[in-house]
Amino acid sequence: MKQPVGLLSGGQRQALTLLMATLVTPKLLLLDEHTAALDPGTADKVLELTKKIVAENHLTCLMITHNMHDALTLGNRTLMMDHGHIVLDISGEERAHTTVDGLLDRFAENVGHALDNDRILLSKEK
């Protein structure tokens, strides 16, 4: 608590930001790539903290991510966008049985071309 914020690691800053954003319970928690710049271990810790805060406070959360594994394993609905348009919206049983490869295939079917974003493609497996 006495550590200046400027001396915290990226993960510590993200955790602090998440805690600050939820001190007063929001109606909607918006998370935009909140683990993007973190190493995998730290990102996992921040995601665990996120899940805990969302569950304990019964929050509705919109999380933007390029990590397809996280997109399918967190929450209850996955939307994919291309150039600002929703091209895929899955939930329920359909989402529960979708793999990352299946998600990428569905994206390609819906937009007419394969996904070519290296960051997304490299996030396929954990």
| Nearest C-alpha neighbor of 120 from the set 108, 112, 28, 44 | 108
Cβ(78)–Cβ(95) below 8 Å: yes
Helices (H), the chain: 10-21, 40-57, 68-73, 92-96, 100-111, 118-121
pLDDT per residue as tens digits for the range 90-108: 999 999 999 999 999 999 9
- Locate the domains of the chain by residue range: 1-64, 67-126
Q: What percent of the chain has pLDDT over 70?
A: 91
**pTM score above 0.85:** no
